[in-house]
Structure 1
């Protein structure tokens, strides 16, 4: 496979997980009414999806280092299809949670391998560039998902969204069976037990810092996605209007990832991450400031989210590349740690915020600022996992 073909297939295999995460966001209010639960209960669906999405990556990554990427990916996609079937067969809230858990357990394979496949083929500045391409492509699914979800819910009800996900999962599984080729040759695989493999990767100080930045950034990102619909609905907006506002920050994530690809060979890792941190902090402050002015609250929520997304788009491909670069034979394990910890942390963060007395814009802005502050703190040490390619 050419580099471009590998990028396209990587984006496609992650599309199911990305769409599952955001497809139902504009329909949360209608889903809560149909399922006879409170609006506060719907963000838990994302938590039940993200926790297994994170946990199972710890299994898929080392397995793919030992047995290859292809069989692990196909097994995961098949599990995802099963989760979608469960939700459609028994459309009640408890089964929605269980089915989301199974879906997350399945798409964890793609979430883990999307970081490993690029390392199988590229290194150095080229690795940053191609990870940037993947990040840009992955953003297409969240851009389309809320629009598709809002339309499907409005015309056919909330169950139609999961029928769509089932069909999408089956199509992508078929595409991978026919076109995806193994990227990890037999001679590069290793049989090291799982625990020593994780110890080997975690021993690297640069990896731990990149991991910390990814976890903190993703926690803020996923919190914003989970509560945006609830906060925007307080401004008397329809599900279609909410879906349009929800996707406005996403092109800025695309722009951040594009900047990472364009500057991979001329900017240092540290310089790119410094600019990413500035975007995260500025976005959090704007969300927080908007909450203190009623007429500008919604504008601050959307614009602040855009800046935060831009910072995340720049940070993700750079931090991912810097983290996996030192591990050519353990890239599956390293990728599993990155994806697993980030998504597990994000899921637990969502479950934790469900215990808060209330979720409003000041609370959201404060939590985003705390996440951005952690990124800055992890950036302070000077040593990097990747060599400095430019100025």
Structure 2
């Protein structure tokens, strides 16, 4: 497979997972009413999806290092479709949570492998560049998902969104069966037990720093996505379709950040790119926080601040991912699983914790985003690099 073909297939294989995470966000209020639960309970759906999405990556990654990427991916897609089917068969809130859990357990395969496939084929600045392309492509799914979800919910009800996901999962599975070729040849596989493999990867201090930055940044992104619809709904009288339009506004900025990583990987130092990304995270968080003090500007500040935060995240993710997996050509599945699994598991657990807070408002959101951005800056302080520096 050519590099471009691999990027396109990688983007496609994670599309179902990205769609599942954000498709229903504009419909949260309507779903809560139909399922007869409090609107604050709907972020639990995302938590029940993200926790297995993170946990099962720890299993899929080492398995793919041992048996190859293709069989692991196809098994995960099959599990994902089972979760979608269960939600459609029993459309009640407990089954929505269980089905989301199974969906997350299935798409964890694609979530883990999307970080490993690029390392199978590329290294150095090419690895950063192609990871940037993947990050840009991956953003297309959450860019479209809220628009599709808002439309489906408005005209066909919330269950239509899960019919859409089931069909999407089936289509992606068929494409992978016929077009995806193994990227990890038998000669590069290893049979090292799972625990020693993880110990080997975690022993690298540079990997641990990149992992910390990714977890902190992702926690901010996922918190923003989980509470955005609820906060805007409380502060305005917008419909689910209108909220979906506001929800996707930060996503093109994420796309721009990932594009900058691809364009400048060969001419700017990786440290410079990461400091620019961190500045975006800090500035965006501050905008969300400060606008909370002025009710007339709260929604605008929420959207604009989120856009700047997402721009920083879009730049940081491909650079930090590339720096983390670069030293591990034979353990890229394990390294990718640690990156994706820890980020998503941490995000899901955090959503469970924040669900127990007395109140989630824009002031709290801004404060938490600022704390996450500060953690990224703290992890960035050490100067050792996992990849050689290039450019200025």
Alignment TM-score, normalising by the size of structure 1: 1.00
Q: What is the rounded CA distance, in whole Å, between the counterparts of 1:193 and 1:294 in structure 2?
A: 55
Residue 211 of structure 2 corresponds to residue 211 of structure 1: yes
Q: Name the SS of the counterpart of 1:220 in structure 2.
A: helix
Q: What is the rounded CA distance, in whole Å, between the counterparts of 1:345 and 1:372 in structure 2?
A: 15
Q: What is the rounded CA distance, in whole Å, between the counterparts of 1:208 and 1:305 in structure 2?
A: 26
Alignment TM-score, normalising by the size of structure 2: 1.00
Q: What is the rounded CA distance, in whole Å, between the counterparts of 2:41 and 2:295 in structure 1?
A: 26
- How does 1:34-49 map onto structure 2 within 5 Å? 34-49=34-49
1:390, distance to aligned residue in structure 2 (A): 1.6
Q: What is the rounded CA distance, in whole Å, between the counterparts of 1:389 and 1:16 in structure 2?
A: 35
- How does 1:1-391 map onto structure 2 within 5 Å? 1-234=1-234, 235-391=236-392
C-alpha distance after superposition, 1:175-215 (max 9, x if no partner): 00000000000000000000000000000000000000000
Q: What is the rounded CA distance, in whole Å, between the counterparts of 1:294 and 1:148 in structure 2?
A: 30
Q: What is the rounded CA distance, in whole Å, between the counterparts of 2:300 and 2:306 in structure 1?
A: 10
C-alpha distance after superposition, 1:348-377 (max 9, x if no partner): 010110000000000000000000000000
Q: What is the rounded CA distance, in whole Å, between the counterparts of 2:321 and 2:361 in structure 1?
A: 32
C-alpha distance after superposition, 1:47-76 (max 9, x if no partner): 000000000000000000000000000000
Q: What is the rounded CA distance, in whole Å, between the counterparts of 1:67 and 1:294 in structure 2?
A: 55
C-alpha distance after superposition, 1:198-233 (max 9, x if no partner): 000000000000000000000000000000000011
1:327, distance to aligned residue in structure 2 (A): 0.1
Runs of 4+ in 1 over 3 A off after TM superposition: none
Q: What is the rounded CA distance, in whole Å, between the counterparts of 2:385 and 2:211 in structure 1?
A: 12
Q: What is the rounded CA distance, in whole Å, between the counterparts of 1:316 and 1:132 in structure 2?
A: 8
C-alpha distance after superposition, 1:16-45 (max 9, x if no partner): 000000000000000000000000100000
Q: What is the rounded CA distance, in whole Å, between the counterparts of 1:155 and 1:88 in structure 2?
A: 17
Query: Greater CA deviation, 380-389 or 223-232?
Result: 380-389
Q: What is the rounded CA distance, in whole Å, between the counterparts of 2:276 and 2:349 in structure 1?
A: 28
